[in-house]
Structure 1
């Protein structure tokens, strides 16, 4: 099987330039499904910390790069929405956060914020032992004792060390959300209406972006509608106060 991926066919969320070269690296098996960006792309094309796959492999062999608190040794490991990337030697920490158009970007955070990560609940079921298992957007499973407290589309903050839940943000009108896909990807605002669609169609949500004017572009004030699956409940601190790290469209394999 080829280790290459055509740039023109990569998911829209990948932070790569599509017309600089024909191919880029292919994501390996792991979390986030097809939307997961290979770690190599972030190290090389976005941050510019390495120039090649060989350099990336050497850096990873030093266990100095952590993803969600775990050292990674595979440069093709998929990285996705709300993952935490830590560079222990540099004392640099980043959260993967959707940018304009839903394209993934790196938001600098402090060391304390790197100890946990946000997850959207996409599934909920009972398992052996009478406990409830919550499945998050990245495939992580978390067990809870009180099933009534959590619902699909809620968001939780999970400790990277022991996967305990340290915060819970219900999916409800009035919640702060970010759009992660679609034409409004990257926009942040207050969820003002949830229109339930009966049958197999998706619920439609209305988001008022003016409540997050400090983090929005000037032309973003107002409202937008999108499908329920495209929004994630967040807390204000997850919007990030610094500029996101942009890709320079680097070349090479």
Structure 2
């Protein structure tokens, strides 16, 4: 973020050039969103959750990310078609190139970004997506505070074996 009056949100990187410090906005358990100091090499990318995927005019595919970005794909490759909602993309900043695609599946590393357990993180143990209304899809995480069950909408994938970003 270069403009001091620009709003910042989840997973945004804030750099202070005078001191050479970089921070990322991350949810912390029982605190809410907080600044976590990160190394210089981690300041060059951010993780974004896919919230919507749709076809737009011209036969293009467009995905919307949690921070309001829209990415339009003119060519529908197999990789682009494999992007699903609730997956996570690792995006370089400021060039906004897609570096990595993290699928929502078991044995990935997840972070709860909403709800009463916001800020807890760990391995995804179980996904319950095939539920019948009025039940909601659930996820079970193995955290350092024990196994935690939460709504699937509250989860963001942040890595495969270990998180790609520094977590508190």
Q: TM-score range by the shorter chain?
A: 0.7 to 0.9
Partner of 2:128: 195
Give 3-state SS (helix, strand or coil) of 1:126's partner: strand
User: Contact between 1:178 and 1:234, CA under 8 Å: does it hold in 2?
Assistant: yes
1:237 aligns with 2:168: no
1:177 aligns with 2:110: yes
**Higher strand residue share:** 2
Q: Any gaps of 5 or more consecutive residues in structure 1? A: 1-66, 214-219, 245-253
User: Contact between 1:142 and 1:163, CA under 8 Å: does it hold in 2?
Assistant: no
| Corresponding residue to 2:61 among 132, 139, 151 | 132
TM-score by length of 1: 0.59
CA deviation after TM superposition for structure 1 residue 158, in Å: 1.1
Partner of 1:91: 20
1:224 aligns with 2:148: yes
Q: C-alpha distance in 1, partners of 2:84/2:31?
A: 24
* CA root-mean-square deviation: 1.8
* Superposed CA offset, 1:46-99 (max 9, x none): xxxxxxxxxxxxxxxxxxxxx1xxx2152xx32211001011121110111110
Alpha-carbon distance change, 193 to 105 in structure 1, aligned in 2, over 3 angstroms: same
User: Contact between 2:47 and 2:88, CA under 8 Å: does it hold in 1?
Assistant: yes
Q: C-alpha distance in 1, partners of 2:31/2:141?
A: 16
Partner of 1:186: 119
CA deviation after TM superposition for structure 1 residue 102, in Å: 6.0
Alpha-carbon distance change, 187 to 73 in structure 1, aligned in 2, over 3 angstroms: closer
* Superposed CA offset, 1:15-59 (max 9, x none): xxxxxxxxxxxxxxxxxxxxxxxxxxxxxxxxxxxxxxxxxxxxx
Structure 1 stretch displaced more, 145-154 or 113-122: 145-154
Give 3-state SS (helix, strand or coil) of 2:14's partner: strand
CA deviation after TM superposition for structure 1 residue 200, in Å: 5.5
Partner of 2:90: 157
Give 3-state SS (helix, strand or coil) of 2:30's partner: helix
Structure number, greater radius of gyration: 1
Q: Number of paired residues?
A: 160
TM-score by length of 2: 0.86
Partner of 2:43: 114
User: Contact between 1:98 and 1:105, CA under 8 Å: does it hold in 2?
Assistant: yes
CA deviation after TM superposition for structure 1 residue 143, in Å: 2.5
Q: Any gaps of 5 or more consecutive residues in structure 2? A: none
